Amino acid sequence: MKSAIYPGSFDPVTFGHLDVIRRAADIFDELTVSVLNNHLKSPLFSVEERVKILEEATKDIPNVKVDSFSGLLIDYAGKKNVHVAIRGLRAITDFEYELQIAQTNHKLSGGKLDTMFLTTSLEYAYLSSSSVKEIASFNGDISMCVPDFVADLIYKKYGHR
Ligand code: PNS
């Protein structure tokens, strides 16, 4: 069985992430979308909230599981015996950062963890979780960025509607 992990902050999940999730789930038998519990960042949603949101947003894709992890991705992937990490590339600006992480993970894992990049569909290339949060914080329209139930949760966090 071919399995992969799609790690990320997903704070919050956007249509861009969901596009990558759907396409990766078509390629692999099992895809685990895993939320990083990163103590260095102060997220809008807790890890538990992000996991719940992802579960709801992916409930129609049977081979997608949602999980969370702390620490190094290579340790988490090693424990799960998964050898492929999925990452989405929106633009050339993502590439340098992603290449460095992918190469570090490959080296650190002794060649056991490879990264597979999916290029984000053009219609979502402009999307980022940070811009979604910024727009929502000013009560702007984020309906083209995230599913409706996610938009409601984001607006609630900012005290709108
Ligand atoms: O959605 P993000 O914030 O761009 O995701 C970044 C992520 C989660 C892929 C990356 O920060 C990560 O894997 N962190 C876990 C710690 C780790 O393994 N670091 C080594 C790579 S330099």
The pLDDT score that the predictor gives to residue 101 is 97
Distance CA 103, CA 100 (A): 5
Using the mean position of ligand 1's atoms as its centre, give its distance from the Cα of residue 73 in Å.
Answer: 7
Task: Say what the pTM is.
Answer: 0.96
Distance CA 18, CA 108 (A): 28
- According to the model, what pLDDT value does residue 87 have? 97
The side-by-side arrangement of strands in the sheet containing 30-36 is 64-69, 30-36, 3-8, 84-89, 114-119
DSSP 126: T
Q: How far is the CA of 18 from the centre of ligand 1 (A)?
A: 18
Residue 52, C-beta contacts closer than 8 angstroms, at least 6 positions apart: none
**Ligand 1 pocket: which of 73, 105, 109, 131 to mutate (most atoms within 8 A of CB):** 73
Q: So what's the pLDDT on residue 34?
A: 98
Residue 63 tokens read as 């081979």
Q: Please give the distance, rounded to the nearest whole angstrom, from the Cα atom of residue 76 to the centre of ligand 1.
A: 12
Which residue lies with its CA nearest to atom 21 of ligand 1? 101
- Judged by DSSP in three states, 89 sits in strand
Of 6, 9, 18, the residue with max ligand 1 atoms within 8 A of its CB, to mutate for a pocket test, comes to 9
**Nearest alpha carbon, ligand 1 atom 10:** 8
Q: Ligand 1: residues within 6 Å at CB?
A: 7-9, 36, 72-73, 101, 104-105
Integer angstrom CA distances of residue 6 from 30, 60, 92, 143, 158: 11, 17, 20, 24, 28
Please give the positions annotated as active site: 17, 41, 90, 129
Structural contact between residues 33 and 115, judged by C-beta atoms closer than 8 angstroms: no
Which candidate, 115, 123, 126, places its Cα nearest to that of 7? 115
Pairwise CA distance, residues 50 & 66, whole Å? 10
Q: What is residue 38's predicted lDDT score, i.e. its pLDDT? A: 85
**pLDDT tens by residue, the chain, 161 residues:** 999 999 999 999 999 999 999 999 999 999 999 999 987 779 999 999 999 999 999 999 999 999 999 999 999 999 999 999 999 998 888 899 999 999 999 999 999 999 999 999 989 989 999 999 999 999 999 999 999 999 999 999 999 87
Enumerate residues 6+ apart whose C-beta is below 8 A from 55: 66
